[in-house]
Amino acid sequence: MRKIPEIFLLVFLLFQVAAYSQDDSREKSINLASSILSSRGEAYIAIPSSLRKSFLMEMAGIVPDKQTDSLSFFYIDSEQFNWIRNAGIDFEVLTAPSMLAPVRMAADLDDVLAGEAYPSYQQYLDLMKRFGETYPDLCAIDTIGVSIGGKLILSARIQNGNYTGGERPIVFYSSTMHGDESVGYSLMLMLIDDVLKNAASSPQISTILNEVVLIINPLSNPDGTYFQSDVSLFGAKRYNLNNVDLNRNFPDVRLGMDYSSLGMEKENLAMVKYMEKFPPSLSANFHTGAEVLNYPWDSWYSNERKHADNEWFIEICKDYVQAARISDPSYLRLYPEGYVFGSDWYWIPGGRQDFVTYNLRGRELTIELSDVKLPAVSQIPGLWNKNHNALLILIEKAGDGIFGTITDSLTSEAIGAKVEIPGYDQYESNIFSHSLTGNFFRFLPQGSYELEISAEGYVSKLVEVEVFKNQRTEIGIQLAKIGGEEPSDQGVLVKSSPGNHELFIELKGDGSEVFSADLYDLTGRIVQENIFIGSSGTVGGAMFRGIYILKVKSAQQSVNRLVFL
- Alpha-carbon gap, residue 95 to 35, rounded angstroms: 13
Question: DSSP characters for 391-408?
Answer: HHHHHHGGGSEEEEEEEE
Q: Total structural domains in the chain?
A: 4
Rg (alpha carbons) of the chain, rounded to whole number: 28
Handedness of CA 46, 49, 50, 54 (dihedral sign): positive
Quick one: pLDDT at residue 489?
55
* All residues at 6 or more sequence positions from 500 whose CB lies less than 8 Å from its CB, including other chains: 540, 541
- Residue among 401, 415, 412, 409 at smallest CA distance from 548: 412
* All residues at 6 or more sequence positions from 48 whose CB lies less than 8 Å from its CB, including other chains: 70, 71, 72, 90
What's CA 517's distance to the chain center, in Å?
40
CATH number at residue 515: 2.60.40.3080
- Residue among 532, 535, 563, 534 at smallest CA distance from 549: 563
Quick one: pLDDT at residue 565?
66
- With respect to residue 364, please indicate whether it lies within any of the assigned structural domains: yes
Instruction: Using alpha carbons only, give the angle 240, 76, 226 rounded to the nearest 5 degrees.
Output: 30
Quick one: pLDDT at residue 500?
56
- Alpha-carbon gap, residue 366 to 353, rounded angstroms: 7
Residue 556 CB neighbour total at 10 angstroms: 12
Give the domain extent around 67: 23-94
Q: What is the mean pLDDT of each run of 10 residues along the chain (565 residues)?
A: 46 42 79 96 91 69 85 94 91 96 97 98 98 97 98 96 83 98 98 98 95 97 98 98 97 86 95 96 97 97 94 98 97 97 92 97 98 96 98 97 92 93 95 93 96 95 94 92 66 61 75 80 79 84 70 79 69
Question: Do residues 31 and 140 share a domain?
Answer: no
Contact of 173 with 156, CB cutoff 8 Å: no
- With respect to residue 14, please indicate whether it lies within any of the assigned structural domains: no
Residue ending a domain, among 479, 506, 538, is 479
Q: Which residues of 379-415 are buried (b: 16+ CB within 10 A; e: fewer)?
A: ebeebbebbbebbbbbbbbbbbbbbbbbbbbeebebb
Question: Do residues 360 and 264 share a domain?
Answer: yes
Question: Do residues 358 and 316 share a domain?
Answer: yes
The SS3 assignment for 11 reads helix
Whole-angstrom CA distances from 346 to 63, 141, 424 are 8, 35, 27
Contact of 4 with 13, CB cutoff 8 Å: no
Question: Do residues 64 and 176 share a domain?
Answer: no
Q: Which residues of 290-317 are buried (b: 16+ CB within 10 A; e: fewer)?
A: bbbbbbbbbbbeeeeebbbbbebbbbbb
- With respect to residue 193, please indicate whether it lies within any of the assigned structural domains: yes
- Alpha-carbon gap, residue 391 to 229, rounded angstroms: 30
Question: Do residues 301 and 352 share a domain?
Answer: yes
- Alpha-carbon gap, residue 517 to 532, rounded angstroms: 8
- Alpha-carbon gap, residue 457 to 476, rounded angstroms: 19
Instruction: Using alpha carbons only, give the angle 145, 151, 156 rounded to the nearest 5 degrees.
Output: 55
The SS3 assignment for 187 reads helix
DSSP run (H or E) holding 384: helix 380-396
Q: Are strands 290-295 and 363-370 parallel, antiparallel or unpaired?
A: antiparallel
- With respect to residue 205, please indicate whether it lies within any of the assigned structural domains: yes
Residue 528 CB neighbour total at 10 angstroms: 17
- Alpha-carbon gap, residue 487 to 478, rounded angstroms: 10
Please list the residues that pair with 562 across neighbouring strands: 549
Look up residue 446 and give its DSSP letter: S
Question: DSSP characters for 262-312?
Answer: TT--HHHHHHHHHHHHS--SEEEEEE-SEEEEEES-SSS-TTT---TTHHH
* Alpha helices for 435-477 (secondary structure H): none
Residue ending a domain, among 384, 399, 414, is 399
- Alpha-carbon gap, residue 478 to 407, rounded angstroms: 5
- With respect to residue 299, please indicate whether it lies within any of the assigned structural domains: yes
- Alpha-carbon gap, residue 461 to 245, rounded angstroms: 44
Q: Helix 121-134 vs helix 183-197: angle between axes, to the nearest 10 degrees?
A: 20
- With respect to residue 8, please indicate whether it lies within any of the assigned structural domains: no
- With respect to residue 47, please indicate whether it lies within any of the assigned structural domains: yes
CATH number at residue 417: 2.60.40.1120
Handedness of CA 539, 477, 525, 215 (dihedral sign): negative
- Alpha-carbon gap, residue 500 to 460, rounded angstroms: 34
Contact of 163 with 213, CB cutoff 8 Å: yes
Question: Do residues 395 and 444 share a domain?
Answer: no
Question: Do residues 121 and 267 share a domain?
Answer: yes
Question: DSSP characters for 118-159?
Answer: BPPHHHHHHHHHHHHHH-TTTEEEEEEEE-TTS-EEEEEEE-
Residue ending a domain, among 340, 368, 399, is 399
Quick one: pLDDT at residue 12?
41
Instruction: Using alpha carbons only, give the angle 192, 196, 198 rounded to the nearest 5 degrees.
Output: 120
CATH number at residue 55: 3.30.70
Q: Helix 380-396 vs helix 310-324: angle between axes, to the nearest 10 degrees?
A: 140
Question: Do residues 346 and 443 share a domain?
Answer: no
The SS3 assignment for 191 reads helix
Question: Do residues 436 and 521 share a domain?
Answer: no
The SS3 assignment for 173 reads strand
Question: Do residues 248 and 180 share a domain?
Answer: yes
Handedness of CA 399, 402, 405, 410 (dihedral sign): positive
Question: Do residues 40 and 138 share a domain?
Answer: no
Q: Helix 6-40 vs helix 78-87: angle between axes, to the nearest 10 degrees?
A: 170
Whole-angstrom CA distances from 205 to 58, 210, 391, 426, 436 are 43, 9, 11, 34, 27
Question: Do residues 433 and 328 share a domain?
Answer: no
Instruction: Using alpha carbons only, give the angle 53, 57, 61 rounded to the nearest 5 degrees.
Output: 170
- With respect to residue 104, please indicate whether it lies within any of the assigned structural domains: no
